[in-house]
A and B are shown apart, each in its own frame.
Chain A
Amino acid sequence: MTTTKVGGQEYALSDIRIVDLSQTISGPFCTKLLADFGAEVIKVEPPEGDPSRAMGPFPGDVPHPEKSGVFLHLNTNKLGVTLNVKTASGQKILRELVRDADLLVEGFHPGMMEHWGLGYEELEAINPKLVMLSISNFGQWGPYRDYQLSELVLYALGGTLHHTGLAEREPVKMALTVIQFQMGQVAAIAAMAGVLVARGQGIGQQIDFSMFEAQAGTIDRGAINILTSAFNDRQPSILRSGPMIFRTIQPNGIYPCEDGYVQIQSGRPDWFLRFLKTVGHEELLQDPRYQPFPDSIYRMDLKDEVEAITFEWCLQHTKWECQELAQANEWPVTAVSTMEDLFADPNFRGRNFFVEVDHPVAGKLEYPGAPALPAETPWRAGRAPLLGEHNREVYCDRLGYSLPDLAHLRAQGVI
């Protein structure tokens, strides 16, 4: 697992050593991105395991700490050790672990690391070049510092939930735990920034990553909508108005078709021609009501007519036919895929995006694969560690503990 070269190629991040105390989704996704591109990540779990080991899905719906889909996905290519950082012995071992680490990632409640004697200042004294990435709900300080978050509450506070859904109903959230994944995605930027500074300038430091701010600033329509609101005496342009973002007659939104749904995105005003061509109604432009074009796309009295044409055309075709016919004219229409569709999708499959990963307990499963293909520095498929799988390798081989020491630590509930 610590190979740095593959087929003559080197991993981009093979010289980065990470100690990862983070749990559940955001932090582990951040370090997964780094691990899959070659960083060494020592995942430090409490003796009972990362809580995500208890999050589903599980094969056959039977929970098992080594079979959680989320855990298996988020912890690929990591070394797994157990350590109770609430104990003095655990804290001592953690200090030993960070001595030659480049990056420490933690997601504890602000103040906990200091409480355990593991605050940045203490760790800096051990390793001045250490980057400590602290991912927290609201940042290390500020009025909401001690507030708690869930996926829904995170989406709510950042401002985007209010603008998602239908005007006459309650706002409705994003899919699954997408926001927490996005937080991990953005945190990986912060992690790399810290490492670049440490390597380039010899400076270690703490990075205060606030999920609240990252949500407000980096989620789909957030940053633009904040500005439209600032521009217009706090009347944001994107409201909870369903598919009608812009008031034009261009088809826009999700439409039913013969076997499912398609996503149509309106795009530039002149792309109305691509729509007309695809649905075989180019003659409409001869109609004086559609002149002058493209200004006529704002004539809302034509909306019903255009919608009727769109619905009729969609319902006469499958989602795949809609997609193919529209894309032939560069009209941005795509199928709304389910996971079943994706499993068989000729593009994802054709690009070999899915990789089969074998795991000693969970067995063989297909995982989402390389999110990018760097020509020089490969991505690697790998598996998540078993709970405490690498205790011996890390504690004995690297830190010099003996096997009897490990037995002692285990009896004490430290590992």
Chain B
Amino acid sequence: MAAPRLPLEGVRILDFTIVWAGPSGTVFLGDLGAELIRVESLQHPDVNTRGQVRIPKAALEGSAGGQFPHGDPGPRPWERSAGFQYSGRNKVSMTLDLERPSGIEIFLRLVQKSDVVFSNYAAGTLEKLKLTYPVLREANPKIIMVYFPGFGLSGPYKYFKGFGSNMEALAGLTALRGYTDMDVTANGAVFQADAAAGAMAAFLTLMALHYRNRTGKGQFIEMSQAETTLHHLSQAWFEYAMNRRVLGPMGNRDLYAAPQGVYQCQGDDNWVAITIENDEMWERFCGVIGRPELAHDPRFSDAVSRYRNQEELDPIIAAWTADQGHYQVMEILQGKGTTAGAVISHREIFDDPHLQARGFFKQLEVPGVGFFPHAGPVYKMSKTPLKEPRRAPTLGEHNEYVYKTILGYSDAEYEELVRDQHIGDTYVELLPKAKTGEVAR
């Protein structure tokens, strides 16, 4: 029998994405072996994905410096930022200028040679470029397009600008998280809507490929990032639908089990998360912390009492965790069948024995700087390999491959496109002005 091929071997996807929902969505498809062609522009630096073109010194003094290796953006910061170094995994980069008809022509030639166009640009962007599905379909009748702007392609919010934090605010997520004794303005940013939408769009792509394999038909799929996010808030939705009750933040409490909380451990900023799921677990837990009498204390002996009185339990639990290590508490409690986990920081996650044993981290290079561990693929298939990750591409790194090998441009045509500044490896705004003037047409 032939060796198993990658699940998406031979599938070519145009990664026409921005910020995080789109770029992180195609990462799933690259791991499965799809060829991901990132469509970039020398005229319009994608600062929301690759990061800014110029990093002022003042920015590096703040937290922004952290996105670069050793805090150093180098001469080409857009080739070093953590966001793109991660989300660029397994992608090839080509450049073109879509604001000129010649750029649109190149794009459509690429569509002819591709299976999927995957995009999360804001609604309106593709309309302006006249790169709507009917146009793409004319170029390639079997093309699949998965298009997922923040709020979909209809309704009053259609043209809204926003990031994941904005989508999840309107979808109801933001009002449901945070400390119970502070208002939501204390909430730090999370961008879960991006993660949810990227994964949903990757799933939809696979679904459309399956359908096309069966029927030969491509199709257009519209998705709203906010609507996907709302699906993840089931309990709050149905609490309102059924009882007209509005849920709010629950801090670290659980909807169903008590006590549950995050407790401080030995060391600087070390914590452990503990969930007591039922009476048996509670009894075991009381034994472990040396307070067996609490198992029969009427304030805590049954699920309802524990739920009502968990505030009283917090100091008791915290007193036990305070002089122990967070990993130590996890090991002790899990050893006794009790649900607990070290609150692993991103400082120490690389040392986690389980992630190490399963080979979770993958070493990828930042050219000219070195190799760094990345979060790798998140599941394992027993017979089919997943793609061995390849580092993020530099800007236009694969222009020759895309233009000549895929699209069949001749050397002479290629050189002309270089002169026309469709093809290049440096943003036009960074080129000497005179040179820019010379080639402008």
Contact = CB atoms under 8 A, between A and B. Distances in A.
Contact of B381 (A187, A193, A246): A193
A59 interface: yes
Looking at A197, A236, A261, the one whose CB has the most chain B CB atoms below 10 A away is A197
B388 to A, nearest CB: 16
A35 interface: no
A109 to B, nearest CB: 11
A202 B159 CA distance: 44
A164 interface: yes
Given A189-B206, A255-B185, A376-B217, A227 B374 contact: yes
A148 to B, nearest CB: 4
Nearest to A151: B254
Interface in A142-176: 142-144, 146-166, 169-176
B63 A176 contact: no
Contacts of A165: 179, 188
Nearest to A335: B170
A228 B156 contact: no
B136 interface: no
Contacts of B85: 227
Interface string B240-272: 111111110111101111001111100001011
Contacts of A342: 171-172, 230, 237, 240
Interface stretch (A82-90, A262-270, A280-288, A388-396): A262-270
Contacts of A360: none
Interface string B375-397: 11111111110000000000000
B378 A213 contact: yes
B162 interface: yes
Nearest to B54: A295
B380 A208 contact: yes
A155 B366 CA distance: 29
Given A182-B196, A216-B360, A245-B63, A346 B174 contact: no
Among B226, B272, B346, the most chain A Cβ lie within 10 Å of the Cβ of: B346
A10 B222 CA distance: 17
Contact of A219 (B195, B222, B372, B377): B195
A175 B82 contact: no
Contacts of A256: 183, 185
A114 B5 CA distance: 28
Contacts of B171: 337, 342
Contacts of B343: 156, 161-162, 171
B243 A205 contact: no
Nearest to B364: A227
Report which residue of A295, A299, A345, A372 has the largest number of chain B beta carbons within 10 angstroms of its beta carbon.
A372
Interface stretch (A40-48, A91-99, A324-332, A407-415): A324-332
Given A192-B207, A265-B163, A201 B5 contact: yes
B121 to A, nearest CB: 14
A217 B89 CA distance: 13
Interface string A173-189: 11111100110011111
A375 B146 CA distance: 11
Contact of B234 (A181, A223, A243, A244): A181
Main secondary structure of the interface of A (DSSP, over half): mixed
B178 A172 contact: yes
A8 interface: no
B82 A334 contact: no
Among A265, A335, A341, the one with the most B-chain Cβ atoms within 10 Å of its Cβ is A265
Contacts of B235: 55-57, 69-70, 176-177
Interface in B315-352: 330, 334, 337-350
Contacts of B378: 186, 209-210, 213-214, 216-218
Interface stretch (B66-74, B398-406, B420-428, B429-437): B66-74
Contacts of B277: 148, 150
A73 B200 contact: no
A182 B62 contact: no
B70 A231 contact: yes
B303 to A, nearest CB: 12
Contacts of A265: 162-163, 165-166, 189
A226 B271 CA distance: 18
Contacts of A327: 159-161
Nearest to B223: A372
B255 A55 contact: yes
A148 B339 contact: yes
A137 to B, nearest CB: 10
Contacts of A186: 28, 199, 378-379
Contact of B239 (A57, A190, A370): A57
B176 interface: yes
A306 to B, nearest CB: 15
Contacts of A157: 273, 341-342, 344
A144 B191 CA distance: 28
B221 interface: yes
A343 B241 CA distance: 8
Interface in B62-117: 62-71, 82-83, 85-87
B342 A156 contact: yes
Given A295-B56, A327-B160, A242 B186 contact: yes
Contacts of B349: 159, 216, 226, 229
Contacts of B374: 223, 226-227, 230
Q: Rank and list the top 3 A-B pairs by shortest CB-CB distance, nearest first.
A: A237-B66, A69-B238, A247-B62
7 contacts: A175-B236, A175-B250, A185-B232, A242-B188, A246-B62, A261-B175, A337-B171
Given A176-B250, A241-B188, A267-B163, 20 more contacts: A37-B207, A69-B237, A143-B354, A153-B340, A162-B346, A178-B192, A182-B195, A185-B196, A192-B203, A203-B384, A217-B376, A218-B24, A224-B86, A237-B65, A256-B185, A263-B165, A298-B56, A337-B172, A339-B237, A347-B152
